[in-house]
Structure 1
Amino acid sequence: MASDSPSSSPPASPPSRKRQWWLFGLLLIVAIVLGWLNLDAWVEKRDLPKGKSLEAPGALSFDGS
């Protein structure tokens, strides 16, 4: 009779819908973050002077030196 208790056995139908929504939300957040970073990189590339390149982003300084 102890094996019939719901606490010891998993439910017959797994919460697959909840897991699908969780994965969908996680993928959505990752897509938004990647899109935001890509947009930032695109804006930085567009705003660079024509003589500069994006190969060394660490070499860029905005303080005039």
Structure 2
Amino acid sequence: METDIRKKLAAKIIELRKARGFSQEDLAFKAQIDRSYMSRIERGLVSTGIINLEKIARALEIKPYELLKFD
């Protein structure tokens, strides 16, 4: 189940990032997260914390809960 959530979160971040025309490097820079760590988040390899989710949401100009709204 944890893996499913990580994969869904990864897909959501990628979807939102691409919709804004950001590269992975752009998003990592805006969120002040190491690019290699951002890559692992987007591949669903790590369970990141709420602080990083907040940073990512801020960089995407959305509310943090929107990252967890899965279809």
Q: Which has the higher contact order (CA 8 A, sep 6+)?
A: 2
Q: Please confirm whether the aligned pair reaches a TM-score higher than 0.5, indicating the same fold.
A: no
TM-score (norm 1): 0.36
Q: Which structure has the greater CA radius of gyration?
A: 1
